[in-house]
Chain A
Amino acid sequence: MEENIKALLEQFRAIAGDPRKAMADHLAETGKGAIGMMPIYAPEELVHATGYLPVGLWGGSRPVTKARTYLPPFACSVMQQVMELECEGAYDDLAAVVFSVPCDTLKCMSQKWKGTSPVLVFTHPQNRGLEAANRFLEREYAILKEKLEGITGVKITNAALERSIQIYNENRAAMREFSALAAQYPQVISAVDRHAVFKARLFMEKSRHTALVRALMEAVRAEEPQPWTGKKVVVTGILLEPNGLLELFDRLGLAIVADDLAQESRQIRVDVPDGDEAPLYRLARVWQNMYGCSVATDTKKQRGPMLMDMARKTGADAVVVAMMKFCDPEEWDYPIYYKQFEAQGVRSLMIEVDQESTSFEQLHTRLQSLVETL
């Protein structure tokens, strides 16, 4: 592999693995702190417009001990991790934490923050087809905006917000391009690297991330794509971590040719629409336009057809369902799309994702059996 690609991937991995350094660097350069963004969706552009660094809080891979006092074992793995980190004080340097509450667990988590940072909660409407829902969310965002201004002491002007929206739309477009490119170059961009590029996005100022992604894509494109002798899969779920799990994909020759992970491609699926309406209103429209996600109500259940479409377009051999342990919105979607897969002859495998895992032997066996039967 070309040295440049290697160095760039190394950079993504380093950033993805050390959000604390990203925060320190940002502070040193701008004099501004960081604001935590809880999963799953938030108008990050608002935070960006203050000059603070938005930092995604998607758990970690700690042994869960302190969190046990506050969460029963049937809370999802990612929130167990977040709670553990809250208890350890890992988030206490954040100027604030922005909290959306699109599932029952997040509603509860928003009310029991164990760190010292102020928590800014807003609610997404779920009757998403209605104009009234857009107006409701616009108001929620206006309240959130005021709170952010109070905490950061920065007035979020419409001009600044439009600039941030542009930066985010460009980043989302670059990431969609990257995802497609990674599918063509699985030899160059491993599953672990692909994830690192997405994960670094959670800790970087987005125009810088875009620049780095573009540099990577340029370097990759300079190489000839090679035929892939392994298998190709689409992955769906909340997230696919830790790296030990992703390494199995690489070891077994399973290329991730597209993802429908809440932590990855769902974040870049929908852009802020253009138009003459005020930026806050257009930010609210993003939620209306969102699709294929378990926490965005969809009485037509389009996730299954969406996944099958993704598999067809990418030539994937199967869909791997990365089921977040104890995530009931995801668990409720599964029987519906599984039935649709079966009806259409789409191969799939469900594996359980637990961020705390350190042993992957069982998962190895299951993924290996999938590979052998494809």
Chain B
Amino acid sequence: MSEKSVQEMTAKELLAYYQAKLDEEARQAKANGKLVCWSASVAPPEMCVAMDIAMVYPETHAAGIGARKGAMDMLEVADRMGYSVDCCSYGRVNMGYMELLKEEAMTGKTPEALANSPAARVPLPDLVITCNNICNTLLKWYENLAAELNIPCIVIDVPFNHTMPVSEHAKEYIADEFRNAISQLEVICGRPFDYEKFHQVRRQTQRSIEQWNRIASMSRYKPSPLNGFDLFNYMALVVCARSRDYAEITFRKFADELEEKYKKGESAFKGAEQNRIAWEGIAVWPYLGHTFKTLKNQGTIMTGSAYPNMWDLTYDAEDESLHSMAEAYTRTYINTCLDNKVAVLRRIMEEGQCDGVLYHLNRSCKLMSFLNVETAERIQEKNGLPYVSFDGDQTDPRNFAPAQYDTRVQALGEMMEQAADGGQA
């Protein structure tokens, strides 16, 4: 595809184009003997990208498999490997996928479950990088990938911030880890680290994040030109390409489109916006359409979610101490104390002018579930807005019941209506 056609593409087309391009680049890298790294979704890619390593993101990949209804095959493989159904379904889908790729590499034959999978084909990694800013499961999962494949594992540990703001000693430790990762990469790549490119990549990352935040901020308008569920889709690029211009180009285009829409007086729900909610937690990928439509059918638009907001990794790209970058990667709201978590969610609700909250009690994610009760109570105490919770899972379709979801969403709708009519929430 030519450069010109990229300029002519809509944001939606760009999203699909660059996602496919990233997968293709990873496959090409593998074919040409270049290094491929599997990475946790909010691990810093800046160092690897500076060393021209092709990046693959198992969480995004697993979410894609889930959305294309292909999770069950992978979950069954993980089950046979001994993974309990209590383990994160992203992790299980990925371990299943890895096992099939490994089998293919060892036997030369493509296992049926892999051949029939709707998953985008990605190559096996030569190294992995993980970061626990969104959960410690990512430490266990990547330990296992490294052990199964006998490859190096780069760990960027960001200690849980039990007090906020982020402490100086945490920043010092994390910045030292970045420097350690750099020396690990020099050994793995067999060449000196490219500090100049590292600087450029940090700048690029900031340009991408700036555009990402521009999109998210569009939901402040009422009615909203942005359908919050679109963030779930565009998230793929903030995860997989924030250190490349692919993300910047796509997000800029999308933000421009939304601004244009707003100027023309158009909104996401075309005048049908009745009320607005915050969505707390990861999307239910196998039922993304259902979860969206149920809300839409009652005129409820999602205008705030702390989940895509986790990639607001704004930092000072000129700070050579790397403390600013360290701070950005550790302050993820679920890596902080409850006070801060509540403050972040409240701010998001205020910015999105939300009328209520929908909490996803996610069977796969303890960290994003076990504080839901306290978060909900504290937020309601402050803003008096109604909330409901539903049981779900990010990629294991067995842990979500559409009927329960519908009932809860309906109840939330009624409470929001009542509140709008001046009644009590």
A interface list, Cβ under 8 A from B: 69-72, 74-75, 101-105, 107-112, 121-127, 130, 132-133, 135-136, 139-140, 294-295, 297-301, 323, 326, 328-329, 331-336, 338-339
Inter-chain contact B87/A111, CB cutoff 8 Å: no
| Leading 4 A-B pairs by shortest Cβ distance | A332-B140, A108-B370, A132-B176, A335-B82
B interface list, Cβ under 8 A from A: 81-84, 86-88, 91, 95, 132, 135-137, 139-144, 146-148, 152-153, 155-157, 159-162, 167, 169-170, 172-173, 176-177, 180, 337-338, 341, 361, 363, 366-367, 369-371, 373-374
List the B side residues contacting A112 at CB < 8 Å: 338, 370-371, 373-374
Inter-chain contact B136/A103, CB cutoff 8 Å: yes
List the A side residues contacting B142 at CB < 8 Å: 299
Q: Least Cβ distance of A189 to chain B in Å? A: 32
Inter-chain contact B153/A74, CB cutoff 8 Å: no
Q: Least Cβ distance of B264 to chain A in Å? A: 45
Inter-chain contact B86/A130, CB cutoff 8 Å: no
Q: Output the nearest chain B residue to A75 by Cβ-Cβ distance.
A: B370
Inter-chain contact A72/B132, CB cutoff 8 Å: no
Contacts A133-B173, A328-B87; is A104 near B135 (CB within 8 Å)? yes
C-alpha spacing A121/B162, complex, angstroms: 7
Inter-chain contact B83/A335, CB cutoff 8 Å: yes
Q: Least Cβ distance of B420 to chain A in Å? A: 29
Q: Least Cβ distance of B130 to chain A in Å? A: 9
Inter-chain contact B373/A107, CB cutoff 8 Å: no
**Interface core residue of A102, A298, A301, A331 (most chain B CB under 10 Å):** A331
List the A side residues contacting B144 at CB < 8 Å: 301, 332, 335-336
Q: Which listed residue (B157, B167, B173) contacts A297, Cβ 8 A?
A: B157
List the B side residues contacting A122 at CB < 8 Å: 162
Inter-chain contact A123/B169, CB cutoff 8 Å: no
Inter-chain contact A126/B87, CB cutoff 8 Å: no
Q: Which listed residue (B86, B147, B167, B176) contacts A331, Cβ 8 A?
A: B86
List the B side residues contacting A126 at CB < 8 Å: 132, 136, 139, 155, 157, 159
List the B side residues contacting A109 at CB < 8 Å: 370
Q: Least Cβ distance of B154 to chain A in Å? A: 9
Q: Least Cβ distance of A322 to chain B in Å? A: 14
Inter-chain contact A74/B136, CB cutoff 8 Å: no
C-alpha spacing A301/B140, complex, angstroms: 10
List the A side residues contacting B135 at CB < 8 Å: 104
**Interface core residue of A72, A121, A301 (most chain B CB under 10 Å):** A72
Inter-chain contact B173/A132, CB cutoff 8 Å: yes
- Further 7 A-B residue pairs, CB within 8 A, beyond A123-B160, A294-B140, A295-B136: A104-B136, A126-B136, A130-B177, A135-B172, A135-B173, A139-B169, A336-B147
C-alpha spacing A85/B63, complex, angstroms: 38
Q: Output the nearest chain A residue to B140 by Cβ-Cβ distance.
A: A332
Q: Least Cβ distance of A134 to chain B in Å? A: 10
C-alpha spacing A31/B210, complex, angstroms: 59
List the A side residues contacting B82 at CB < 8 Å: 334-335, 338-339
C-alpha spacing A326/B169, complex, angstroms: 33
Q: Output the nearest chain A residue to B175 by Cβ-Cβ distance.
A: A132
List the B side residues contacting A297 at CB < 8 Å: 139, 143, 155, 157
C-alpha spacing A140/B373, complex, angstroms: 28
Q: Output the nearest chain B residue to A108 by Cβ-Cβ distance.
A: B370
Inter-chain contact A111/B173, CB cutoff 8 Å: no
Q: Output the nearest chain A residue to B170 by Cβ-Cβ distance.
A: A136
List the B side residues contacting A127 at CB < 8 Å: 155-157, 173, 177, 180
C-alpha spacing A303/B370, complex, angstroms: 28
Inter-chain contact B337/A111, CB cutoff 8 Å: yes
List the A side residues contacting B177 at CB < 8 Å: 127, 130, 132
Q: Which listed residue (A104, A125, A334) contacts B367, Cβ 8 A?
A: A104
C-alpha spacing A125/B81, complex, angstroms: 29
Q: Least Cβ distance of B368 to chain A in Å? A: 9
Inter-chain contact A125/B176, CB cutoff 8 Å: no
Q: Least Cβ distance of B349 to chain A in Å? A: 20
List the B side residues contacting A125 at CB < 8 Å: 157, 159, 173
Q: Output the nearest chain A residue to B132 by Cβ-Cβ distance.
A: A126
List the A side residues contacting B143 at CB < 8 Å: 297-299, 301, 332, 336
List the B side residues contacting A295 at CB < 8 Å: 136
Q: Least Cβ distance of A17 to chain B in Å? A: 30
Q: Output the nearest chain A residue to B155 by Cβ-Cβ distance.
A: A127
A sample of 28 cross-chain residue pairs with beta-carbon separation below 8 angstroms, ordered by A number, consists of A69-B373, A70-B373, A74-B363, A75-B370, A101-B160, A102-B136, A104-B136, A105-B366, A108-B370, A109-B370, A112-B373, A112-B374, A121-B162, A124-B159, A126-B132, A126-B136, A130-B177, A132-B177, A133-B173, A136-B169, A301-B143, A323-B84, A326-B86, A332-B83, A332-B140, A332-B144, A335-B81, A336-B143
C-alpha spacing A58/B373, complex, angstroms: 23
**Interface core residue of A103, A109, A110, A333 (most chain B CB under 10 Å):** A103
List the B side residues contacting A335 at CB < 8 Å: 81-83, 95, 144
C-alpha spacing A299/B169, complex, angstroms: 24
Q: Least Cβ distance of B30 to chain A in Å? A: 22
Q: Least Cβ distance of B410 to chain A in Å? A: 22
Q: Least Cβ distance of A328 to chain B in Å? A: 5
List the B side residues contacting A102 at CB < 8 Å: 136
Q: Output the nearest chain A residue to B154 by Cβ-Cβ distance.
A: A299
Q: Which listed residue (A101, A133, A298, A331) contacts B87, Cβ 8 A?
A: A331
List the B side residues contacting A339 at CB < 8 Å: 81-82
C-alpha spacing A331/B161, complex, angstroms: 25
List the B side residues contacting A75 at CB < 8 Å: 366, 370
Inter-chain contact A334/B84, CB cutoff 8 Å: yes
C-alpha spacing A295/B136, complex, angstroms: 9
Q: Least Cβ distance of A308 to chain B in Å? A: 15
Q: Least Cβ distance of A334 to chain B in Å? A: 6
Inter-chain contact A299/B153, CB cutoff 8 Å: yes
Q: Least Cβ distance of A40 to chain B in Å? A: 12
Q: Least Cβ distance of A364 to chain B in Å? A: 22
Q: Which listed residue (B153, B157, B160, B167) contacts A107, Cβ 8 A?
A: B160
C-alpha spacing A372/B60, complex, angstroms: 47
C-alpha spacing A103/B370, complex, angstroms: 12
List the A side residues contacting B147 at CB < 8 Å: 299-301, 336
C-alpha spacing A140/B163, complex, angstroms: 11
Inter-chain contact A136/B86, CB cutoff 8 Å: no
Q: Which listed residue (A103, A105, A135) contacts B169, Cβ 8 A?
A: A135
Inter-chain contact A136/B87, CB cutoff 8 Å: no
List the B side residues contacting A71 at CB < 8 Å: 370
List the B side residues contacting A328 at CB < 8 Å: 84, 86-88, 137, 140, 366
C-alpha spacing A328/B371, complex, angstroms: 17
Q: Least Cβ distance of B388 to chain A in Å? A: 15
List the B side residues contacting A294 at CB < 8 Å: 140
Contacts A111-B337, A130-B177, A334-B82; is A136 near B373 (CB within 8 Å)? no
C-alpha spacing A74/B341, complex, angstroms: 22
Inter-chain contact A332/B169, CB cutoff 8 Å: no
Inter-chain contact A331/B155, CB cutoff 8 Å: no
C-alpha spacing A178/B141, complex, angstroms: 35
